[in-house]
Amino acid sequence: MAPVVGIVANPVSARDIRRVVANATSLQIADRANILLRVLAALRACGVRDVLMMPENGGIRAHVERGLMRARGNGASGGQDIYPALHTVSMPVTGTVADTHRATAEMRRAGVSALVVLGGDGTHRAVAAECGTVPIAGISTGTNNAFPEHREPTITGLATGLAVTGRVPPHIAFAANKRIDVSLDSGATGATVTEMALVDVALVTERYIGARALWRTENFRELYVTFADPEVIGMSAIAGLLEPVGRDESGGLMVRLSPNGDGAGDCRRGITTLNAPIAPGMMARVGVTDWRRMPASVAFVPEVTAGSVALDGERELSFSERDRLSLTLRDDAFRTVNVAAVMRHAGQNRLLTGTPVPVAAAF
Amino acid sequence: MAQNPFPLGKDELLKAYRTMRTIREFEERLHVDFAKGDIPGFVHLYAGEEACATGIMMHLNDNDRIASTHRGHGHCIAKGVDVHAMMAEIYGRSTGACRGKGGSMHIADLSKGMMGANGILGAGAPLICGAALAAKVRGDRGVGITFVGDGASNQGTFLESLNLAAVWNLPVVFVVENNGYAESTAMEWAVSCDSYVDRATGFGMPGVTVDGTDFFAVYEAAGEIIRRARDGGGPALLECNMVRFYGHFEGDAQTYRAKGELEAIRASRDCLTILSERVVEAGVIGRDELQAIDREVNALIEDATRAAKAAPLPAPEDLLRDVYVAY
């Protein structure tokens, strides 16, 4: 049976206050649909005939269906279907993150071979919470997007197609990823809330969720990252500019931050000032007290006793002195399509040529 | 009391709660009294949407102008219009904000920067561009806020105003109060673009979407957008996703809603409950303090209603008063 690929495209990513406090992008719905059409064409070229998509009322699916209809109508494909058949998960649409959770779980049960995700770090986190062992192929359509790599979506689609059709060995096609599990025991109710982050957990002093995004550096206190990449923006950039930690190495980094980000720092208390890109086009001074490696599978109890927990750059949970918070990094928590490795393998083995060609091309 | 983790001091939090509670009680009272046939004309209630008006208006002063909609009671109260004068206006009494000749959809108070509720959909946007141009010319750092529903956002006046505000770099904030229904038509059937942020982007200004039932989300986003406008950063659009607890107008049977929809949003998306639970849970405000405000607000609305009913109707000779105003 030909593999089926699942698609989660979030219509509401990239809509927050960072469009005003910074110069974050506003990716229009029609552009998101256009990205999806590029992915679909690449998947079909690899032999994927069916895709299963999350329903949404934000307009992406309607634009995609119009694109499919036009492609069939204009005859450009010479009678060949250049796109896979588009199916939608049968479920009610709430317009919240619950849709992503439910659609991902349904697609996993339906046996999809991979999940192509359009969204920011938050969307990818919601998919990773439910995808189990199904690999994710991420496409950045959000704001900071440390998790999905920036790449032309056609290539992500090609790599996904090559991976799920078995033309690239799994040990090359798929990569293991880390995550940080957050556990919050409520002192008031006794209930435990568990959450996770793919890239970073930041503890900030604001005890309200509000506009969610993080940009007031004076409120930053502690930061835990799965990888510290100096090439990304957002909270992971802070860690990345102190001590890079790769996606593929075990463990992450823990950074203690202080409100004294302005000025030359406080030498007496050993505070360093770091100038970091914390949002698109937004360089900010961050006070750094110290940092150290965060080994996998070891529970960390933060020093901060009240505030909010920001997951992948967005405030999600608030906590008080009565609550107990702990964070644990997990290696090998979920899988992604290793696009770079797949495409390199495809090139080296001429997977997209019509007939086998010798390694040394004939002159 | 615990340390205050919020972006507002305790007095400001209490003020926000009092404003939202006043709007809610005002609207609940009108809901009851309109059904009795006591009130002339149509009323469109703001109940359920209080966090939006309040979270935005907390950043404004009397020098800042707002232009409202047919659903304007909440904007009026949050902008500081006298509740007694509003109630009398809705009852059509001569003690009303417009001497009883405007009614629910025309309450105005220029001394508070409230340029009027407006029965014409999308009509507030050009008005606020004019007010913002005046503020810009005077250089007084005033800003203009206009409100529009998801339905009226399709009006030419609104779209032309987005363009005008962008090309003149006016200190305007366009607030789309998206309660999901243009009267009875769900947004996806009536709005060509899929997101209001896309629409703003098309006019060259930033757009932001927030949960309009979360006072802090509105307050925080509006604060940044208004500060930017004040500082000469230009116009922006703020979309507040919210819910209305009653029909488009009083008497609307709401057959366009799904079964159980209203009950669900009242249970899980009541902005007053969300705010009060947040501040009480944080230990900043005691529940008894909120209850004391509730009692005061109830007394205020009761008194405003009693006074409105007792006040005289406009006299026939008042018909020609205030038709023309000299500036």
Asked if residue B211 lies in contact with residue A212, where contact means CB atoms within 8 angstroms, the answer is no
Of the candidates B55, B57, B48, the one whose C-alpha atom is nearest the C-alpha of residue B24 is: B48
Q: Which of A15, A206, A318 sits opposite B195 (nearest CB)?
A: A15
Say if the Cβ atoms of B209 and A318 lie within 8 Å.
no
DSSP string, B93-121: -TTSTTTTSS-GGG--BGGGTB----SST
Reduced to 3 states (helix: H, G, I; strand: E, B; else coil), residue A70 is: helix
Positions in chain B short of pLDDT 70 = 1-2, 192, 327
Q: Which of A19, A60, A209 sits opposite B216 (nearest CB)?
A: A209
Domains and CATH numbers, chain A: 4-167 (3.40.50), 183-332 (no CATH)
The pTM of the full predicted model, rounded to 2 decimals, is: 0.86
Confidence of residue A64 (pLDDT cuts 50, 70, 90): very high
ipTM summary value: 0.77
Q: Which of B200, B217, B236 sits opposite A211 (nearest CB)?
A: B217
Asked if residue A157 lies in contact with residue A149, where contact means CB atoms within 8 angstroms, the answer is no
Say if the Cβ atoms of B282 and A209 lie within 8 Å.
no
Contacts of A41 (CB under 8 A, 6+ apart): A82, A83, A154, A157
Q: How close is the nearest chain B Cα to the Cα of A321, in Å?
A: 10
Query: Distance from CA of residue B91 to its chain's centroid?
Result: 20
Residues A211-267: pLDDT tens digits?
888 888 889 999 999 999 999 989 999 999 999 999 999 999 999 999 865 544 455
Say if the Cβ atoms of A26 and B282 lie within 8 Å.
no
Euclidean distance between CA atoms A313 and A232, whole angstroms: 13
Euclidean distance between CA atoms B39 and B247, whole angstroms: 17
Q: Which of A20, A59, A320 sits opposite B208 (nearest CB)?
A: A20
CA atoms within 13 A on the CB side of A328: 10
What was the pLDDT predicted at A352? Answer: 92
Best residue of B188, B194, B265 to probe chain A, by most A CBs closer than 10 Å? B194
Segment A205-209 shows an average pLDDT of 86
Reduced to 3 states (helix: H, G, I; strand: E, B; else coil), residue A335 is: strand
Say if the Cβ atoms of A19 and B207 lie within 8 Å.
yes
Best residue of A61, A208, A314 to probe chain B, by most B CBs closer than 10 Å? A208
Q: How far is CA A279 from CA A118, A146, A156, A257, B241, in A?
A: 19, 11, 25, 17, 24
Say if the Cβ atoms of B207 and A26 lie within 8 Å.
yes
Contacts of B230 (CB under 8 A, 6+ apart): B141, B143, B171
Confidence of residue A78 (pLDDT cuts 50, 70, 90): low
Q: Which of A21, A59, A307 sits opposite B194 (nearest CB)?
A: A59
Residue in B closest to A320 by C-alpha: B282
Residue in B closest to A186 by C-alpha: B281
What was the pLDDT predicted at A94? Answer: 86
Q: How close is the nearest chain B Cα to the Cα of A339, in Å?
A: 30
What was the pLDDT predicted at B1? Answer: 52
Residue A362 has pLDDT above 50, yes or no: no
Q: How far is CA B267 from CA A202, A278, B212, B249, in A?
A: 31, 37, 16, 22
Residues of B in contact with A92 (CB under 8 A): none
Best residue of A34, A204, A207 to probe chain B, by most B CBs closer than 10 Å? A207
Segment A102-120 shows an average pLDDT of 97
Name the strand (E) or helix (H) holding B79.
helix B73-79
Residues of B in contact with A205 (CB under 8 A): 5
Torsion over CA: B311, B312, B313, B317 (sign): negative
How many percent of chain A have pLDDT more than 70?
92
Residue A361 has pLDDT above 60, yes or no: no
Say if the Cβ atoms of B209 and A16 lie within 8 Å.
yes
State the greatest distance between any 2 C-alpha atoms of chain A, in Å, as a whole number.
76
Reduced to 3 states (helix: H, G, I; strand: E, B; else coil), residue B138 is: helix
What was the pLDDT predicted at A226? Answer: 97
Instruction: Specify the residue for token string 């992503």.
Output: A100
Q: How close is the nearest chain A Cα to the Cα of B28, in Å?
A: 27
Confidence of residue A77 (pLDDT cuts 50, 70, 90): low
Residue in B closest to A14 by C-alpha: B208
Say if the Cβ atoms of A19 and B208 lie within 8 Å.
yes
* Rg of chain A over all Cα atoms, to the nearest angstrom: 22
Torsion over CA: A164, A167, A170, A172 (sign): negative
Q: How close is the nearest chain B Cα to the Cα of A243, in Å?
A: 31
Question: How far apart are the two ends of chain B, measured CA to CA in Å?
Answer: 52
Lowest mean pLDDT across A69-83, A122-136, A170-184, B266-280: A69-83
Q: Which of A20, A209, A212 sits opposite B236 (nearest CB)?
A: A20
Torsion over CA: A177, A178, A184, A185 (sign): positive
Q: Which of A28, A210, A306 sits opposite B220 (nearest CB)?
A: A210
Burial class (CB in 10 A: 0-12, 13-18, 19+), B281: middle
Say if the Cβ atoms of B206 and A20 lie within 8 Å.
yes
The DSSP secondary-structure symbol of B65 reads E
Residues of B in contact with A93 (CB under 8 A): none
Say if the Cβ atoms of A15 and B197 lie within 8 Å.
yes
Of the candidates B326, B311, B325, B301, the one whose C-alpha atom is nearest the C-alpha of residue B33 is: B301
Say if the Cβ atoms of A29 and B195 lie within 8 Å.
yes
Residues of A in contact with B7 (CB under 8 A): 206, 208, 210
Residues of A in contact with B219 (CB under 8 A): 210
Exposure string of B83-101, with b = 16+ CB inside 10 Å and e = fewer, is: bbbbbbbbbbbebbbbbbb
Segment A328-357 shows an average pLDDT of 91
How many CB atoms lie under 10 A from the CB of residue A216?
Answer: 16
Euclidean distance between CA atoms A217 and A258, whole angstroms: 9
Say if the Cβ atoms of A208 and B216 lie within 8 Å.
yes
Say if the Cβ atoms of A20 and B224 lie within 8 Å.
yes
Asked if residue A286 lies in contact with residue A274, where contact means CB atoms within 8 angstroms, the answer is yes
Q: How close is the nearest chain A Cα to the Cα of B228, in Å?
A: 8
Average pLDDT for chain A:
90
What was the pLDDT predicted at B187? Answer: 72
The DSSP secondary-structure symbol of A50 reads E
Say if the Cβ atoms of B206 and A29 lie within 8 Å.
no
Say if the Cβ atoms of A210 and B236 lie within 8 Å.
no
State the greatest distance between any 2 C-alpha atoms of chain B, in Å, as a whole number.
59
Euclidean distance between CA atoms B275 and A266, whole angstroms: 38
Best residue of A20, A29, A65 to probe chain B, by most B CBs closer than 10 Å? A20
Euclidean distance between CA atoms A196 and A125, whole angstroms: 7
Asked if residue A204 lies in contact with residue A152, where contact means CB atoms within 8 angstroms, the answer is no
Q: How close is the nearest chain A Cα to the Cα of B24, in Å?
A: 22
Domains and CATH numbers, chain B: 10-311 (3.40.50.970)
Residues of A in contact with B200 (CB under 8 A): 26
Q: Which of B194, B201, B228 sits opposite A26 (nearest CB)?
A: B201
Best residue of B8, B216, B220, B237 to probe chain A, by most A CBs closer than 10 Å? B220
What was the pLDDT predicted at A239? Answer: 96
Task: For residue A237, give both structure tokens.
Answer: 């950039």
Residues of B in contact with A15 (CB under 8 A): 195, 197, 207-209, 239
Indicate the Cα dihedral angle A97, A202, B241, A128, nearest 10°: -10
